[in-house]
């Protein structure tokens, strides 16, 4: 099995379209927890401890209802999908867990984990962005190729990847859910890291919603000696909010003018072109 054949198909292609189909066609066995290990390269890094505690309580009462997908790795087994269940099982004090064993290479296992987490919305936006970036670099894929393989639009992928440009402390706030993805996108409009940090403090204080951040992050342009109708600033803000990029409108004396769009990377340019040509 070649790595790229797995990419884009996920667990449905490997196990069947329904979980019960997978269980009926593949043997579920129990393995001691000491023989199971997480995949250190899996995309999901943040696990909500309160959620793990709740799942552990459920497992104590009802057991693990869905087996953990693993692959052989020497004398042990590496988790392909189900690390949250495994962590909860350890917390619940289980000595062995139900597993379903499938033969996959390390690359195939990682691809499957990334795709399944993305489609099940189990990743926070930063984990998702890092996963896209990793897949593209490891398998030499363009955003367009990745888009076709995972069923997401190229602008959507580009928008997520742009979040990696945020300063580390802001990315951490997004990972933990202290700010929303909408807030994070709006912060990218700010002209400097200092402005981002100032706006972040206001967001955390509960003073700014996403629209407020978009307005405050919009670059202030002052033009002296030129005819600039009052509606132009509003147009710039609307364009900036829709395209999530910096727009500058210049009006000349004879009512002609120009619109300038600023971008900071090839990926952002591609995203803007896709939107403009749509």
Residues that are catalytic: 83
Alpha-carbon distance of 155 to 249, in angstroms, equals: 24
Instruction: End-to-end CA distance of the chain: give it in Å, rounded.
Output: 37
Alpha-carbon distance of 171 to 130, in angstroms, equals: 11
Q: Are 118 and 151 in contact (CB under 8 A)?
A: no
Alpha-carbon distance of 263 to 256, in angstroms, equals: 24
Residue 103 class from Cβ within 10 Å (0-12 exposed, 13-18 middle, 19+ buried)? Answer: exposed
Q: Are 76 and 36 in contact (CB under 8 A)?
A: yes
What is the phi/psi pair of residue 42, to 5°?
Answer: -65, 150
Q: Are 213 and 199 in contact (CB under 8 A)?
A: yes
Alpha-carbon distance of 15 to 80, in angstroms, equals: 13
């Amino acid at each position: 099995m070649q790595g790229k054949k797995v990419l884009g198909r996920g667990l449905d292609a490997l196990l069947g379209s329904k979980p019960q189909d997978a269980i009926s066609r593949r043997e579920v066995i129990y393995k001691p927890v000491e023989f199971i290990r997480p995949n250190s390269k899996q995309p999901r890094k943040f696990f909500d401890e309160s959620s793990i505690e709740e799942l552990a309580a459920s497992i104590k009462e009802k057991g693990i209802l869905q087996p953990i997908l693993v692959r052989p790795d020497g004398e042990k087994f590496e988790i392909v999908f189900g690390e949250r269940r495994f962590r909860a099982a350890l917390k619940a004090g289980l000595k062995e867990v139900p597993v379903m064993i499938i033969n996959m290479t390390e690359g195939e296992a990682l691809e499957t984990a990334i795709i399944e987490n993305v489609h099940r919305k189990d990743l926070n936006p930063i984990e998702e962005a890092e996963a896209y970036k990793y897949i593209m670099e490891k398998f030499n894929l363009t955003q367009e190729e990745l888009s076709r393989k995972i069923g997401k639009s190229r602008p959507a992928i580009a928008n997520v990847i742009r979040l990696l440009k945020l300063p580390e402390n802001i990315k951490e706030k997004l990972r933990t859910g202290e700010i929303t993805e909408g807030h994070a996108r709006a912060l990218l409009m700010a002209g400097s890291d200092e402005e981002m940090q100032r706006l972040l403090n206001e967001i955390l204080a509960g003073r700014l919603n996403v629209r407020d951040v978009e307005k405050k992050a919009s670059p202030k342009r002052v033009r002296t000696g030129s005819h600039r109708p009052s509606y132009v600033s509003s147009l710039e803000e609307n364009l900036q909010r829709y395209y999530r990029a910096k727009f500058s409108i210049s009006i000349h004396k004879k009512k002609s003018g120009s619109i300038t769009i600023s971008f900071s990377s090839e990926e952002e340019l591609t995203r803007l072109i896709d939107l403009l040509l749509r």
